[in-house]
Structure 1
Amino acid sequence: MLTLRSDDAEAIVYPSDDPPDDDDRHAKLSRRGPQFLLDGDDAADLVINSPDEPEARAFIEETDFETESVVVVQRTIEDCYERRVLSVQARDDNFRTEYCRTLKSPTTRCKADREVMEALFFRVQRAYEDSPSSRSSSESMSCPPTVRDSLDGASETNGSADETTDGATGGEP
């Protein structure tokens, strides 16, 4: 998994033939939903508007499209929060993600009342022929405490959620 985060609420990732326009930026992104990169052509067609584009391209290039797919989920988040991935399920005709949101560490700089865009790249161990017909996600406004939080004596807002995956591979969010 790879996460890119912008300094504003503008789209980071989109197909070259379907750029978001200013009038319906949020509506268009929510209608589009997750973007499924099923082969090298899909990957080459992707615009990544971020200083971290080389890292994202490297992540995509490491994908074996014979056995894997890349799924890009993009949505806004308030700057003083971070999104944690709780689970990813990549099944034959279904893709599901579950997230929670927590405040950033008090020592992390952020601007209150500012939205930023976040793009999450998931490499899943499923070579989709077509985008799944069923896609869903849920997001909780608080993250559950983890075993790591208990061992570290950290509070709920400082820990990190353990990832559970079904068909997903990758590093930390």
Structure 2
Amino acid sequence: MPSTTPAPTRRRLLQSVAAALSASALAGCGGSGSTSGTASVGPDASPPEDALTDPTHVSLRNSELAPIVEERDSETDASESDTAGTRRFDDWQHDLVVDAERAASLTFADVDGADEARALLEETDFESESVYVEGHVVPECYERRLCWVRWTDSEIETDYARILRDADVACEADADDFVTNLIRIPAALNPDDVRSYGSSGGSGPCRTPTGESMATGEGA
């Protein structure tokens, strides 16, 4: 949609698009072990008591449907290609970084915030912390803001709020971006033990444990 379109007209269009879209989070499968699907918890849901609502994290956005964080010198696996040889791109991707050597092997697409993401990895104390890397396909006219993360030795779960981007941001209602969050978890997790991943989301702002709206960090 051209950026010269007046903001009120654009806002009305986006609101009509929002009414037609489901509030369910986008999901896919990947990683080792089993993965759980995603579900919409609704805009008025409060975070679980054991959730961390203000995790240190960096959010990156790519205007192309392409990975933002990759392994250095990695090659496309045959299972990641369709029968025509074209690389398949999953709506939901996740990874767990638990040591400095692995962190140093990661490369970043040329997107805003990449330097901050590298700094987050470099400053992580992997003796007591881990970094969860989670990516979602997001409609171009929306932000996907992290509300909370929770974990056990065998499971990681996140929740996001889907919010319209500012009216002065040019976007196409039928276009998608890819958003990746690097989330620091204050626990030294073992990726071999984490067998389940889940993500939920809904429209509207994030909520505090008491159910009130809360300000979220920079979205993407």
TM range (shorter): 0.7 to 0.9
User: CA offsets, 1:49-69, max 9 Å, x none?
Assistant: 124432211111010000000
- CA separation of 1:5 and 1:83: change in aligned 2, threshold 3 A: same
Counterpart Cα distance in 1 of 2:60 and 2:138: 12
- Where do 1:67-82 residues align within 5 Å? 67-82=128-143
Q: Name the CA shift for 1:25/1:12 in 2 (closer, same or farther; >3 Å).
A: farther
Please give the root-mean-square deviation of Cα atoms over the aligned residues, in Å.
2.6
Cα distance change on mapping 1:97 and 1:43 into 2, 3 Å: same
Structure 1 residues 162 and 93, CA, compared in 2 at 3 Å: closer, same or farther?
farther
Q: 137, 141, 158: which one pairs with 2:199?
A: 137
- The answer to whether the 8 Å contact 1:13/1:74 transfers is no
| Kept in 1: contact 2:158–2:198 (CA 8 A) | yes
Superposition deviation, residue 104 in structure 1: 1.2
The alpha-carbon deviation at position 75 of structure 1 amounts to 1.5
Matching residue's letter, 2:143? E
Residue 57 in 1 paired to residue 110 in 2?
no
Aligned equivalent of 1:7: 63
Bigger relative contact order, structure 1 or 2, given CA contacts below 8 A and separation 6+? 2
- Which is greater in Rg? 2
Preserved CA contact (<8 Å) 1:143 1:161? no
**Gaps spanning 5+ residues in structure 1: where?**
148-159, 164-170
Match of 1:38 among 89, 94, 98: 98
Instruction: Check whether the contact 2:96–2:130 (CA below 8 A) recurs between aligned residues.
Output: yes
Alignment partners' CA distance in 1, 2:153 and 2:218: 24
Instruction: Note closer, same or farther for the CA distance 1:161–1:118 as it changes in structure 2 (3 Å cut).
Output: farther
Distance 2:178 2:163 in 1: 16
Q: List gaps (5 residues or longer) in structure 2.
A: 1-56
How many residues matched?
Answer: 151
Partner Cα distance (1:57, 1:70) in 2 = 11
What secondary structure, in the 3-state scheme, does the structure 1 residue paired with 2:136 have? strand
SS at match of 1:54: helix
Task: State the alpha-carbon separation in 1 of the partners of residues 172 and 198 from structure 2.
Answer: 30
TM-score scaled by length of structure 2: 0.60
Identity of aligned residues (%): 31
Whether contact under 8 Å (2:94, 2:135) holds in the other structure is: yes
Structure 1 runs (4+) greater than 6 angstroms displaced: none
Q: Give the structure 2 partner of residue 151 of structure 1.
A: none
Residue 134 of structure 1 aligns to which amino acid in structure 2? S
1:41 alignment partner, SS class: helix
Partner of residue 187, structure 2: 126
Letter of the 1:9 partner, please give it: L
